[in-house]
């Protein structure tokens, strides 16, 4: 007996780690057509979030007020491709 959705907000039987491994193998073997593929960065971010997101977010929410100004300083790319944030 298992839950459909795991405690890390992942799908039972279709975890992000399974997807990660599959996509790594699909770089070697022609498993089929997966559109544009998962994308290494997307896979990595989601794997980290699903795996270590719990402690990271617990820490972040506890010190949100102190961390928010620091996080805003990290430059990142917006949806239109422009760099946003950072000094």
Partner 1 sequence: MRKYHTLDKLLDAAKKIAVDKDVITFDLFDTLVIRRVHDPDLIKLPVARYIASLAGQKGIVIAWQKVQQYRDEIEQHNRQDTGSKYVDFEAHYPTFMARTLEKIFQDQYTEELLSQVTEYELLMESTMLLAREKFLNWLKELKEQGKRVIIISDIYLPSEHLKILVDCVGILSFVEDVVSSADSFMAKASGAAFPLIEKKYGLSKDRWLHIGDNPISDGLKPLEFGIEALVLNDAGEKLRKSITRRYLDYSDGKPFWRGRALQQLMAPHEGENVEHEALYIEGYNFLGPMIGGFIQEIAERCRKQGITKIFFLAREGWTFKLFWEKCTPVLYPEGDLPEIHYLYVSRMALAGATCAFQGLTKDNASIAFLPLGNRDFRDLCRIFSLDYKPFIEILAKHSLQPDSCLNCHHPGFVNANQENFDAMLYDDSFQEEIKRQTLPLNNAMIAYFTESGMFDHEDVAIVDIGWLGTIQRFIFDAIKHHPQCPNLHGMLFAATRGMDFAESEKNKMEGLIFDRHKFNLAASSILYARDLFEEACRAPHPTLNGYRLKADGGYELEFRRTDDEIGKAEVAQDNYFSPLQQGIQDAAERFGSASALLGYKARDYRAWFNYLLSAKLAFPKTDEIARVRHQTHLDDFYGKHKPIKIYEKRKKTLWDESLFVLRFNPFVRLKYFFHNLKERIREQ
Q: Is residue 85 part of the contact set for partner 1 (CB under 8 A)?
A: no
Is-contact 86 77, C-beta < 8 A? no
Q: Are 42 and 28 in contact (CB under 8 A)?
A: no
- Please pick, from the candidates 20, 27, 34, 77, the single residue that binds partner 1 as defined by CB under 8 A: 34
**Calpha distance 63→60 (Å, rounded):** 5
Q: Measured between alpha carbons, how far is 84 from 76 in angstroms, rounded to an integer?
A: 5
Q: Is 50 in the site for partner 1 (CB under 8 A)?
A: yes
Among 17, 27, 44, 60, binds partner 1 (CB under 8 A): 60
Which residues are near partner 1 by CB under 8 A?
1-5, 9, 11-14, 18-19, 22, 29-39, 42, 45-46, 49-50, 53-54, 56-58, 60-62, 64, 79
């Amino acid at each position: 007996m298992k839950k459909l959705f795991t405690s890390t907000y992942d799908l039972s039987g279709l975890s992000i780690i399974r997807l990660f491994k599959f996509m790594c193998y699909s770089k070697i073997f022609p498993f089929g057509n997966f559109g544009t593929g998962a994308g290494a960065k997307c896979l990595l971010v989601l794997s980290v979030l699903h795996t270590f997101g719990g402690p990271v977010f617990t820490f972040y929410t506890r010190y949100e007020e102190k961390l928010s100004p620091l996080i805003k300083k990290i430059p990142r790319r917006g949806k239109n491709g422009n760099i946003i944030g950072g000094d």
